Amino acid sequence: MKSTSLFWAISVCLTCWYLLAFALRRAILPFPHEVMLCFLYELQGELGIHVLWSLWRVLLSIALALITAVPFGIALGQLNRLRKLCEPFLYLLYPIPKVVFVPLLILFFGIGEIPKVLTIYLVLFFQIAVLVRDRTSEIRPELILSVKSLGAGRRAMFRFVYLPAALPAIFTAIRQSTGTAIAVLYLAELFATRYGLGYYIYLTGSTLLDYRAMYAGIMAMSLLGLGIYYALDPIERKVCPWNFLKLTE
């Protein structure tokens, strides 16, 4: 069902693109088949390198966010004192667009990979932490007490109670923040770098005026976000199958 819907959505977008390109008849909007041929050609060379750099930055940011935001969100959901202490800061920082931190991160960490990864990481961290907090705070107290009565320690509670309860929220958070993370990736790769899809799109469109290559870069960035979004489905089915059983009942 999802594949069929995606196919029809792509078909409608391509049809609109063809009609608009035919009506406009300008170099700034080439036909889709021209962009596709350029995409396939460039992917074997320079574009492929930029895709790998962007993919590496996104995956590293996701890994760092999972390692830090999941325990933090679980702690907020279960420890009232910690929640009262940290929630004012969470509410203060969460609504701020994380892109505004890019110049500050470059000032503090230089022009290497750290500012780019940290910018995407900040987007993911707050999304995951908030949703995990909400999910784990809803765990029934009698369930926690029953597991503790069996002699479960903190490690066992995290592994068998808190983490399974938080897994659906983690996948939801990653899906919700994928689009924002890709948008932030584009902006982060405009600063002091020679590799990445953001740099490639800006270079080919604004400097080289190669609009086919620019749209090919946009297509690559769209496929990157789409690939991450859909790659989560089989992983989620494997690590928390009970969530899909609820949906099919």
| 213 and 90 both lie in a single domain | yes
| 153 and 68 both lie in a single domain | yes
* pLDDT for the residue numbered 169: 87
pLDDT (tens digit per residue) in 58-108: 999 999 999 999 999 999 998 889 999 998 998 898 888 888 888 888 888
| 82 and 17 both lie in a single domain | no
Domain residue limits at 19: 1-27
| 18 and 37 both lie in a single domain | no
Please tell me the total count of domains within the chain. Answer: 2
* pLDDT for the residue numbered 2: 64
| 2 and 104 both lie in a single domain | no
| 18 and 60 both lie in a single domain | no
pLDDT (tens digit per residue) in 106-161: 888 888 889 889 989 998 999 899 989 998 888 888 777 888 777 777 788 888 88
* pLDDT for the residue numbered 146: 81
* pLDDT for the residue numbered 245: 57
| 168 and 229 both lie in a single domain | yes
**What pTM value is reported for the model?**
0.86
| 9 and 118 both lie in a single domain | no
* pLDDT for the residue numbered 244: 63
- What 3 state SS string does the chain have? CHHHHHHHHHHHHHHHHHHHHHHHCCCCCCCHHHHHHHHHHHHCCHHHHHHHHHHHHHHHHHHHHHHHHHHHHHHHHHCHHHHHHHHHHHHHHCCCCHHHHHHHHHHHHCCCHHHHHHHHHHHHHHHHHHHHHHHHCCCCHHHHHHHHHCCCCHHHHHHHHHHHHHHHHHHHHHHHHHHHHHHHHHHHCCCCCCCCHHHHHHHHHHHCCCHHHHHHHHHHHHHHHHHHHHHHHHHHHHHCHHHHHHHHC
| 185 and 225 both lie in a single domain | yes
* pLDDT for the residue numbered 191: 78
* pLDDT for the residue numbered 43: 93
| 112 and 56 both lie in a single domain | yes
| 10 and 69 both lie in a single domain | no
